[in-house]
Amino acid sequence: MAKYISEFLGTGILFCAVVGSGIMGENLNDTSDQVTLLTNTLATVFALYFLISSFQSFSTHFNPAVSFVFCLKGEISIKTCTVFVALQITGAILGVMLANYMFEIDPVNFSEKARSGPNLFVSEIVATFGLLLVILLASAERVAGMVAAYIGAAYWFTSSTSFANPAGTIGRAFSNTFAGISPDDVMAFCAAQVIGAFLAYILYKNVFSRS
């Protein structure tokens, strides 16, 4: 039971932090997207580090792409993966709704922020590929810091600002704020993320796991 609560609660807190920090950044400085993105980045990095560190002894996927790869590896069953994904998506949506409410925005406030185009599709493949490779190669002792550091960097070196998480992508469609994404663009982002995760798994399986 603890692993399921960990996946639900961890994903919910993570995307409450992602969306909430974006709203706070806009509220404090609505003239500079760079400052808002920096605020968003720092909050996400800190949230990832403390969430992974806190829940590591239970389960810390917080991401359907991660659960998908660990299912391919045989470390979790298809049934467990399915439950994890459902909990992650639910947690992300509720976390985003909570962030909206805390900033006096309607809990369900679908985003109008368009994020489309081949460059963003490729960006999400790259972002998710890198994230999964970091997770697969990192030691248990270092994974929290490495994941947080990677996502912090990827916010800035990818044109999509590294969503790299299907649950978070779905959740972020519920907030018409800085970190939001139009519902029309969710499926393309999610498809790119699955592709990136699968490519990372193939590389790991055929190169690094045989070293």
The CATH number given to whatever domain includes residue 79 is 1.20.1080.10
90: Cβ contacts below 8 Å, ≥ 6 apart: 8
- What per-residue confidence (pLDDT) applies to 145? 97
> What is the total count of domains within the chain?
1
CA angle 172/178/183 to nearest 5° reads 35
* 76-87 residue pLDDT tens: 999 999 999 999
pLDDT band at 211 (very low <50, low <70, confident <90, very high): low
pTM of the model: 0.96
Instruction: Supply the pLDDT for residue 93.
Output: 98
pLDDT at 31: 79
Question: What is the tens place of the pLDDT at every residue in 125-182?
Answer: 999 999 999 999 999 999 999 999 999 999 999 999 999 999 999 999 999 999 999 9
Q: Rounded to 5 degrees, what angle do the CA atoms 199, 203, 209 make? A: 140
- Distance, in Å, from the CA atom of 41 to the CA atom of 192, rounded to the nearest integer, reads 21
Range(s) of the domain holding residue 167: 2-210
Mean of the per-residue pLDDT values of the chain? 96
Separation in Å, CA 13 to CA 20, 26, 179: 10, 20, 15
Q: Assess whether pLDDT exceeds 90 at residue 32.
A: no
